[in-house]
Structure 1
Amino acid sequence: FHDGVRYIDYVIAYEQGDEGKSEDGKVEELRRKYEENLKEKGLQIEHEPKEESQDQKTCFVKVHVPWEILLRNAERMKMKMPLKEEKVEEQKKGSSGMCSCFGSIYRKMVSPCLLNSEGVEEREEPDYYTSEFVRDKMDFFDIKDEKTFFTNSQRSRIAYRLMSETRFGTKRIDIGINNLIGEGGYLAAFPLHEGKHKSSESKIPANANLRRLLYWEWARWGRWYKFQPLDLIREYLGDKIALYFAFMGYYTKWLWSATIVGLAVMIYGIVTVVNWRTVSQEVCDETYPTYAGNLTMCPLCDEDCSYWKLKTSCLASRITYVFDNEATIFFAVFMSMWATMFLEFWKRRQFQLSYEWDLVDYDEERDLIRPEYEAQVTRERLNPITGDMEPYLSTKDKYTRTCFSLVTVFFWILVIIAAVFAIIVYRLAISAIFAVSIDLSSLGAIGTFATPAMLTTITASLLSLIVIMLLNKVYEKVALWLTELELPRTQTEFEDRFTFKMFCFQFVNFYSYLFYIAFFKSTITGSPGNYNYLFGEWRWEECDAGGCMYELSIQLIIIMFGKQLWNNIVELVLPWAQTKYRQWKSQKVSAEMKDNEYTRWEQDYDLNQFKEMDLFYEYLEMVIQFGFVTLFVAAFPLAPVLALINNIIEIRLDANKFICELRRPLAHKCSDIGAWYYLLEFIGNLAVVTNAFTIAITSEAIPKLVYYYVYSLEIYPESTYVVSCILFHNILQGYVNNSMSYFNTSDFDLRSYGHAIKLICIYYSRYPGYLSPPNANPPYAFTTQYWHNIAGKLAFIIVVEHVVFLLKRLLDYLIPDRPRKLRDKIRREHFLVQNMMFKAETDKLRQQFSRKIILHRWP
């Protein structure tokens, strides 16, 4: 305030219109009543006229909460405040030599990541016991100074609570600052940042404000490798936002192990595909003893496509092997266990943070009824808990709205599937065009990469990415509209319902095309002479001779990388541009008025507004990313690598956004990540199934094992040598030729027997599959090896799923959600706090009693 003594706990902004307008007069009256009621509640306000602002039209109302009002509402809100006695840490037992050695090594490894700023150390306050604040027991609390007992975020919470309960009219919904903003009475309400975040100094001063300290040690790009100062983040931004950054940091920390193993699997595939006698080399080889590369394959499309040599799939086969090798099975199982252990240990970490931040016994504050609910619901009934009349939505109306919403959600999910179907049709059409129009021999070295199948996959993946990003915007509005239509009673209920819809939409939007490639594409194409057609027009596209794994990998790379790149650009560029534009526009108006100071409240007003749902989208992005990392990791071992790089960037982007680009958010309290944990758990369980099916259906791992154990020794008896038994790849010699069936070209139907193959005299061509030759009885029937493969795939799925789920449940049982030592510590602290309060109360009564005795004896 202008007196230099009172704090600004909240700022309200509005634009003052011209006099004489009835609408402005009505709004002015609402503001006047509201501010009068604020004063009646004990709040103190101070006005800043529009003439003092940079844009010459914005007025500001500064709100201050006096000491007595702070005390009264801290008790009412059951705030936990520090007691006078500091915690005394018990002496830890000495660890064993091996544990001590590992601990020392770990500390040396992470020492560069530790925060070593003097400002951070000075901000670390002593660890006090805390208790719910009671005014009658103020002497027990550590009140050294009225100005510092309540933090700025706590003062803002109390101010917002009072502003939310203050009326501005006679109607039922005429209550609270948010409703008044909705009525047009004010434009914005926000707590102030603690000064500027940047300075001309090259080193942060010792007395720097918390905002500047967080920028220097956390939000700057130069601190990307540093641990996050979670306690300072919590002090400045509140528990809810601090918990989000704690989750991001913990998730990113766990991604390091997945990244290392994924890189090892990738490097193994790259090294062995070059140096060992792999199946992919058979595809590329035209010489003895396999001649696989010289095999003549059936045409890829009807009429215009001709025969082709298997060696043209050399690059695709090598890419497939890099992702689909012996290590893939191990990595898929590893990631399933990784997801389980991450979620289990996150629950422990979350409980630890709840303990450190005094949220273990936190009882969610009573949710206020949403103004939209109050405005549209006309019925009322008595609340048996509060005794107040509250708006009530009948059960019939509630079910009607919910059923309509669910039907609409299902309809829009079908729209997403239709979009995926359109991309499939594009693939069918463009693959035939590429197969006819591209002459690989004329492209030279480029032709090795730019095969029709590769170009089709890349262009379809890019188109899929564009469609996904466009549909995301559409479905966000649809989900918001449906949630509003359901009329949720509270904000928590609104967020839960919106979360369910957005997750359903984005799950289908991002993953449906991946499910098609992984599990359906290879099973619906048919075989030569018996091809399947879409709408009787387009022949279903076939997988490459080596399978669909490389297509799934390319789709994952493009979707995941493209999504992360776009999101980071939007989060970095748009907020910065919007802030700079508002600052430029505000200062341009008053360029000639040199005397007007660019005040702190106007600087914050020119920043972007923090919306309650902003954190929702951050969590949603991480949940979808978690799906990419776990669901199809068998097809793309580098998914954790991309996720790790993205998260390192994302943490600094979000930190910079909260410190530099957004108005300071209200410090909400929150003890866990809520429904997001259950969505992560759902994805983790689904990942076991998808990875098992990916290896069994999309990968060639099971057919290779069946060939090795059942057929290779009969076909290549020399492979029984010891050296060949050690090198699994040599044992698979002849696998490609064995996996290709024969087809008599005279058996093509008229539709497939196009003019491109009429002039070529070839009697037999090959195609992937395990069908009997044309001269067998019956011809083109499934062979015994085909049924062996099916049995092996089913056995693999059943065994892997049961073993992994059993291990997951075992880990869930062995790893308690709450560490036993921490549980005991909490019980002991509760016991000590009760004893301290009892002792302090006893001492106080003893002093009062002794004083009475002295007064009685005085005469």
Structure 2
Amino acid sequence: MASPTQPQEALSDTGLLSRSESWSKVTCPCCVSGQVEPLVLIQLAENVQPGTKQWIMAMISAAHSSGGAQLLTHPGEDSSWGRIVVAAPRCTLLRATEDLGLCRADKDDSMVTFSFSDRHNFSNIDDMQKFLTLAERQYIVKHELESMRALKAQRIPGIPGDKGILRARQNIFQKLQKAGVIQDVFPLCDEKKLKALGQEWYSQKRLWGQPLDSIHAYFGGSVAFYFSFLDFYTWFLVPPALLGVFITFVLPGPPLPDGAPADPSGLASASGSSPSPGSAPEDEDQLSVSGHMVQAVFSMIWSTLFMELWKRRSAALSYRWGTLTLTERFQEPRPGFHGELGTNPVTGRVEPLFPDWKRQLRMGLVSVPVVGLFLCLVVLGMLGFYYSEGLMADFHKASGSIVTAALTYLPSVMHIVYTNMLGNAYRTVALQLTEWENHREESSFGKHHTTKVLVFTFFNNFAVLFHIAFFKQDLLLLRKRLSSLLILSQMVNQFTEVVVPYIVERVYNSSKKELKDDDPAADHMQAEGSLPPFPGLFAEYIELLVQFGYLSLFSCVYPLTALLLLLNNITEIRGDAYKICHLFRKPFAPPEASIGVWQTAFELLGFFSVLSNCWLFLMAPRVRAFLQNAAFSPAGVLLLAVFIEHVLIVVKLILAFMIPDEPDWVRIKREQIEYRSMKALNLQKVKRSHVPAELRP
């Protein structure tokens, strides 16, 4: 692949390329360096002309004042090669660090919001590989590429028709993407760092903790926060897992009070229905009353402690990674946004405009009814589950064999498969609906997409369980349903987390052996481009949210829930780590200060756990027997339930108030950062006031 007239420089062990005439020039003397670090690869269409490629490289290299990105470009093997390698000079990285509002260590080793004008007071200011992580440097390159704008109307060389017309103030990078000139953009992999991370992360036999700083440095904040949350959640499952084992295998049930149901568990009479045929063997190992009550109260307290302590951990990580004071920036239009070109009244820029009333009309007349249709399909599946459950129960009652007893679980398994298939179809439809709604900002798009998926996920995964618990009041059926969900999900998850990655890795390794030896740098770039893009962490968070719901809402009827989830998540950590390192292309990762909207979703589930566990607490067999013996009327039972619910909500709020969201040392550091930033801003105002008005920018 190497050109005889212009050979490609080979990558060194540090991932740097020696400076050559192929790299574009820098105008700032402090940015001159003997080596350049390739950060991002731009994949062009096959039919792009050399003149078009040269124009794109010139715009990327141009200064910000000329509408460019002020980055460094390399044509690859030659001018006709369909890729452009992009790097970043020192000053571009430093100015972007200030724009993003990142904190960095100063000479006193204190984290301070970075200021370009005060850059000489920060540590490692001359070594960008120490000053910024690889993920941050690559994201800055992407950020700068997406900020390029044409200063005047012009035509892109080599692009005929309307596709080549570039209007004044139009976003250049988005225009090239929509015209099909730029097909893909992705950050380059550092094989040496990735191998070292893999050995530290999933190759070693470590059960506790993750190399979070190394993950953050290589993959960025969003990935690091996900694995930190997964790790924290997994090991926070240890207390409920131990309690579940103790309740199931150790804790004896107290003697039944006078007048209590005669069956060993009391669940059948508590539910108001007759015990199903063949349920006697199940009744013998049902929960004791004390265990049922302890597990219900523990689940509510556990969910509160988990979220409050995670907030403290999240704040500490945010400070350590310099994202405690991220800047709220006016967002550029997302690449998929379209509309009539016009002048944005806020920025004065020419960009696509789309009326809000049209978007609201699309959401109200199409998106909401489609979401409602899928929720109706969930209800339809639930009715089918109850119908088949009744048929199998009658069939088992007629035969009474061991085979038919096992077949009574078949309706649950079939319904789980149905809900999974429906969920997969809905996620595709939800993404298309959100795209069609045409949201301008990426944050708005993500919020509406996440809301759609969360509403359906909650309804699809928990509607049957809530109906069984609150309306049918059948704890035996609830326990059978929950155990079926957990066991089947364990089997599917182990297959997808272990078997599938192994098969894909074997196939990918065989393709890597075909790399040529004449130009290893170019061949590795080509191999990276052949990998599928990283699908994001949306599905991973949904899986954890469903797990958290099973545990916090219903685990009192099946105390081994936490144990099964703990065993699953130990494999999940390694499986997810292996997949992101080997099976997907390295993703761009913007700086993050938390897990975002997912934290709110988990907190809402924790609130619902109070309602669920309060109801299940009153459904405990001995509690029902006690209420019947005390001659409580239905209205009295309802009032008691409301009273207990309010007491538990108050306890939950008190716990949340007693545990600050930030550790004291993080709060002090944050206030110090804000104080120093305020002083620096006041100093700038004073200096500016001494400058004559005609000389001010």
Call closer, same or farther: CA 1:363–1:77 in 2, change over 3 Å: closer
The answer as to whether partners of 2:139 and 2:589 remain within 8 angstroms in 1 is yes
Call closer, same or farther: CA 1:75–1:345 in 2, change over 3 Å: closer
The answer as to whether partners of 1:427 and 1:456 remain within 8 angstroms in 2 is no
**1:174 Cα offset (Å):** 7.0
The answer as to whether partners of 2:40 and 2:85 remain within 8 angstroms in 1 is yes
Letter in 2 for 1:344: E
Letter in 2 for 1:701: R
User: 1:418 aligns to what?
Assistant: 380
Letter in 2 for 1:799: F
Q: 1:469, 1:695 → 2: CA distance? A: 30
Letter in 2 for 1:622: L
Q: 2:579, 2:600 → 1: CA distance? A: 28
User: 1:845 aligns to what?
Assistant: none
Q: 2:445, 2:418 → 1: CA distance? A: 28
User: 1:639 aligns to what?
Assistant: 561
Letter in 2 for 1:212: K
The answer as to whether partners of 2:101 and 2:327 remain within 8 angstroms in 1 is no
Q: 2:315, 2:464 → 1: CA distance? A: 38
Q: 1:477, 1:256 → 2: CA distance? A: 35
1:208-223 alignment runs, 5 A limit: 209=193, 211-220=194-203, 222-223=205-206
SS of the equivalent of 2:590 reads coil
Provide, for residues 16-60 of structure 1, a one-character-per-residue CA deviation record: whole Å limited to 9, x for no partner. 3xxxxxxx35x7765453233113244332234499xxxxx9844
**1:470 Cα offset (Å):** 0.8
Select the residue among 164, 167, 170 that pairs with 2:165. Answer: 170
User: 1:247 aligns to what?
Assistant: 229
Does the alignment pair 1:43 with 2:4? no
The answer as to whether partners of 1:324 and 1:549 remain within 8 angstroms in 2 is no
The answer as to whether partners of 1:381 and 1:390 remain within 8 angstroms in 2 is yes
Does the alignment pair 1:142 with 2:170? no
The answer as to whether partners of 1:190 and 1:666 remain within 8 angstroms in 2 is yes
**1:313 Cα offset (Å):** 3.8
User: 1:131 aligns to what?
Assistant: 113
SS of the equivalent of 1:12 reads strand
Letter in 1 for 2:90: W
SS of the equivalent of 2:107 reads strand
1:655-804 alignment runs, 5 A limit: 655-697=577-619, 699-706=620-627, 709-710=629-630, 788=632, 790=634, 793-804=637-648
Q: 2:361, 2:415 → 1: CA distance? A: 35
Select the residue among 173, 184, 187 that pairs with 1:188. Answer: 184
User: 1:67 aligns to what?
Assistant: 90
Provide, for residues 606-649 of structure 1, a one-character-per-residue CA deviation record: whole Å limited to 9, x for no partner. 433224xx112211211111101111122111111122222222
Call closer, same or farther: CA 1:420–1:313 in 2, change over 3 Å: closer
SS of the equivalent of 2:364 reads helix
SS of the equivalent of 1:380 reads strand
Q: Which moved more, 1:550-559 or 1:455-464?
A: 455-464
The answer as to whether partners of 1:220 and 1:656 remain within 8 angstroms in 2 is no
Select the residue among 350, 362, 378 that pairs with 2:326. Answer: 362
Provide, for residues 178-237 of structure 1, a one-character-per-residue CA deviation record: whole Å limited to 9, x for no partner. 6645544344322222224xxxxxxxxxxxx4x2332122122622x1311222221121
1:413-812 alignment runs, 5 A limit: 413-436=375-398, 438-440=399-401, 447=402, 454-455=405-406, 457-521=408-472, 548-578=474-504, 580-582=506-508, 584-585=510-511, 587-588=513-514, 595=518, 597=520, 599-611=523-535, 614-697=536-619, 699-706=620-627, 709-710=629-630, 788=632, 790=634, 793-812=637-656
Q: 1:28, 1:586 → 2: CA distance? A: 29
Which one has the largest radius of gyration?
1
Q: 1:829, 1:68 → 2: CA distance? A: 23
Q: 2:573, 2:358 → 1: CA distance? A: 43
SS of the equivalent of 2:557 reads coil
Call closer, same or farther: CA 1:833–1:380 in 2, change over 3 Å: closer
Q: 2:71, 2:200 → 1: CA distance? A: 35
SS of the equivalent of 2:556 reads coil
Letter in 2 for 1:46: H
**1:418 Cα offset (Å):** 0.8
**1:821 Cα offset (Å):** 4.1
SS of the equivalent of 1:799 reads helix
Provide, for residues 344-393 of structure 1, a one-character-per-residue CA deviation record: whole Å limited to 9, x for no partner. 2222222222222222221234332123222xx22635333x23244333
Give the structure-2-normalised TM-score. 0.80
**1:572 Cα offset (Å):** 4.0
Give the structure-1-normalised TM-score. 0.66
User: 2:36 aligns to what?
Assistant: 6
Select the residue among 262, 282, 302 that pairs with 1:316. Answer: 282
**1:656 Cα offset (Å):** 1.7
Q: 2:519, 2:608 → 1: CA distance? A: 60
Letter in 1 for 2:488: G
SS of the equivalent of 2:589 reads coil
Provide, for residues 301-335 of structure 1, a one-character-per-residue CA deviation record: whole Å limited to 9, x for no partner. xxxxxxxx99954213214x2x3522211210111
Call closer, same or farther: CA 1:488–1:554 in 2, change over 3 Å: same
Call closer, same or farther: CA 1:369–1:579 in 2, change over 3 Å: farther
Q: Which runs of 5+ in 1 are unaligned?
A: 17-23, 52-56, 87-127, 197-208, 286-292, 294-298, 301-308, 441-446, 523-547, 711-784, 843-859
SS of the equivalent of 2:609 reads helix
Q: 2:342, 2:148 → 1: CA distance? A: 21
Letter in 1 for 2:185: A
Q: 1:827, 1:278 → 2: CA distance? A: 62
The answer as to whether partners of 2:113 and 2:325 remain within 8 angstroms in 1 is no
Call closer, same or farther: CA 1:315–1:370 in 2, change over 3 Å: same
Does the alignment pair 1:826 with 2:670? yes
The answer as to whether partners of 1:49 and 1:59 remain within 8 angstroms in 2 is no
Q: 1:152, 1:832 → 2: CA distance? A: 28
